[in-house]
Structure 1
Amino acid sequence: MSALTLASAPEDATALEAAEAHHAHLVGQMAGHVGLLLTAAESDPRTVEGPRTGLVAFCERDLLPHAAAEEDTLYAAAHRLPDARLLVEALIGEHRRLAALVDALRGAAAPVAAAADARALQVLFEEHVVKENGMVLSLLAREPGVSLAQLLGDMHGRVGHHTPTDGAAGARDGRGDSTVNDQEPEETGCGGACGCGGADEAGVPELDVRQVPHALRHATVFGALDAVPAGGAMVLVAPHDPLPLLAQIEHRAPGAFAVEYLQRGPEAWRLLLSHH
């Protein structure tokens, strides 16, 4: 069944799809931040502070303002519908738990505590988004007396912030953009062709996206890269040569990351992304 058949108006069907895509983008960004933090905690706990700071900043800049704007618009409209009142109140409670987890993550005294808080935050947010998409957004889209498109427009106006990763062409659906030049980036070192690894990876966190759903993969990488400080690096493990992704990374942050191939297949491509 298409989204159009679940909406009372064509513009609401379009708004529903856009809202679900934006949620998927946020989920991917968080997964990238959390993945980088977890790998840092496992490989070298001394390197956790950077990913932890990046995840907290993402939540304060994007996640929590988004949640507050939802309460003022989408939740307020849904609460007026008798069948949705209890659901909305429960979701508001989840917003409070998300904020509490961000506070706990900010003040975590040990790397293992930060890792636990980050993973709990990710799981709760992913479950929360499923409820919003399947219950709140779909309910509002079907309601004849409600304009989901107008509500979402009001919500984004209230958020009043930018999302840096939205500038990446093709990030909305997780696929490469054919309008972007997919030329292979210049490499340094042996690129892993000789099997030596091509670079000193000690202490560099690794993000393996081979098990990440395709629709979330690019957003996950962008979220992780946002947590890499200048002078730092990240190893990306992909199931194929990620040329479209590399073009998007260059498009959203020209010249910010140097790329070095450490391994070229056949089952995995490993790339070192160094932040200038």
Structure 2
Amino acid sequence: MSTLTIASDPQDAAAAEAVEAHHTQLAGDLAGRVAILIEAADREPAAVDRVRTDLVSFCDRDLLPHAAAEEKALYPVAHDLPAARLLIDGMLAEHRRLAALVDALRTAASPVRAAADGRALQVLFEEHLEKENTLVLPLLAGAPDISLSGLLAGMHELLGHEHGTAGEAATTGGGCGGACGCGGSNETEVPELDVREVPHSLRHATVFGAIAAVPSGQSMVLVAPHDPLPLLGQIEDRHPGAFAVEYLQRGPEAWRLLLTHR
């Protein structure tokens, strides 16, 4: 999702980069949660309600407030730019569709319907963020009479912030970095997240989103294109001991790891 933004001053350039970084975090987090939802719908329908509830909570807590913050801080100013008026009208319409998809996911009547709504939400959100990164932010950052950094002052929903509540600890859960030894679930009974085709900029955030959907005592399988030692190090640094790790395959085409939430 990274793009080159020409800004009128260094502060605006830094603000645009911060928003794009938060976009990457949100998109990856959503993608990971949706991947677990789809896996559950396909292999363990009884777990779909729990995974769906977690996904809806993420949307209510992070995704929709982000959209609301954009409407408050960025969109009114951008709408005043003749080159952006129709674009912003379209972005506002997409916000309505995102909210409608979250509501559809909230009340989905079947695992298949929940998976379909979740995937539709992910696709629309990623397309929406791409427009913001490549169209809206450059227009605002490049306008000499607009201070993008000033518009974003205090807007944590747009710049990103660390959540410290216990309920969100799994988002950045820890890992042992070694053998499991914990008696976790059999590999065939747990969801699998293959990140080999996930863009590198989204890969770690996608994993964090996926493990956030794994409850205590259960597991997921991570498939990576290389030994994910840096990722395991990040997990361990943030929340030591929360996840046990067992290598199921060590290359050459894929590394498969069983992550068990202690």
The TM-score, its normalising length taken from structure 2, stands at 0.89
> Paired residue for 2:244, among 243, 258, 271?
258
User: Structure 1 residues 185, 157: closer, same or farther in 2, change over 3 A?
Assistant: closer
Would you say the 8 A contact 2:66–2:157 is kept in 1?
Answer: no
Deviation, structure 1 residue 250: 1.5
Query: 1:103 corresponds to which residue?
Result: 103
Structure 1's unaligned 5+ residue stretches are 172-182, 190-197
Query: 1:192 corresponds to which residue?
Result: none
Deviation, structure 1 residue 162: 4.2
Letter in 2 for 1:80: D
Tell me the distance in 1 between the aligned counterparts of 2:47 and 2:158: 36
What are the superposed Cα offsets for residues 35-85 of structure 1, whole Å, 9 maximum, x if unpaired? 111112112222222321221111111100111011000111111222212
Query: 2:261 corresponds to which residue?
Result: 275
Deviation, structure 1 residue 186: 2.8
SS at match of 2:252: coil
User: Structure 1 residues 158, 243: closer, same or farther in 2, change over 3 A?
Assistant: closer
Letter in 1 for 2:33: H
Map 1:187-198; keep pairs closer than 5 Å.
Answer: 187-188=179-180
**Are positions 1:249 and 2:235 aligned together?**
yes
What are the superposed Cα offsets for residues 191-248 of structure 1, whole Å, 9 maximum, x if unpaired? xxxxxxx961232100000110111100000010111111221110111111110111
User: Structure 1 residues 68, 199: closer, same or farther in 2, change over 3 A?
Assistant: closer
Query: 1:219 corresponds to which residue?
Result: 205
User: Structure 1 residues 114, 85: closer, same or farther in 2, change over 3 A?
Assistant: same
Would you say the 8 A contact 1:47–1:203 is kept in 2?
Answer: no
Letter in 2 for 1:95: H
User: Structure 1 residues 139, 158: closer, same or farther in 2, change over 3 A?
Assistant: closer
Map 1:65-214; keep pairs closer than 5 Å.
Answer: 65-156=65-156, 162-163=162-163, 185-188=177-180, 200-214=186-200
Query: 1:34 corresponds to which residue?
Result: 34
Query: 1:178 corresponds to which residue?
Result: none
Tell me the distance in 2 between the aligned counterparts of 1:158 and 1:237: 31
Query: 1:235 corresponds to which residue?
Result: 221
Letter in 2 for 1:144: P
Tell me the distance in 1 between the aligned counterparts of 2:176 and 2:220: 19
The TM-score, its normalising length taken from structure 1, stands at 0.84
Tell me the distance in 1 between the aligned counterparts of 2:7 and 2:86: 22
Letter in 2 for 1:137: L
Letter in 2 for 1:233: S
Deviation, structure 1 residue 101: 0.5
Paired-residue identity, % = 65
Map 1:8-19; keep pairs closer than 5 Å.
Answer: 8-19=8-19
Tell me the distance in 1 between the aligned counterparts of 2:52 and 2:221: 18
RMSD: 2.5
Report how many residues are paired.
252
Tell me the distance in 2 between the aligned counterparts of 1:157 and 1:270: 34
Letter in 2 for 1:188: C
Deviation, structure 1 residue 153: 2.2
Structure 2's unaligned 5+ residue stretches are none
Tell me the distance in 1 between the aligned counterparts of 2:157 and 2:222: 35
Would you say the 8 A contact 2:51–2:213 is kept in 1?
Answer: yes
Would you say the 8 A contact 1:50–1:228 is kept in 2?
Answer: no
Tell me the distance in 2 between the aligned counterparts of 1:188 and 1:236: 14
Letter in 1 for 2:21: A
**Are positions 1:57 and 2:57 aligned together?**
yes
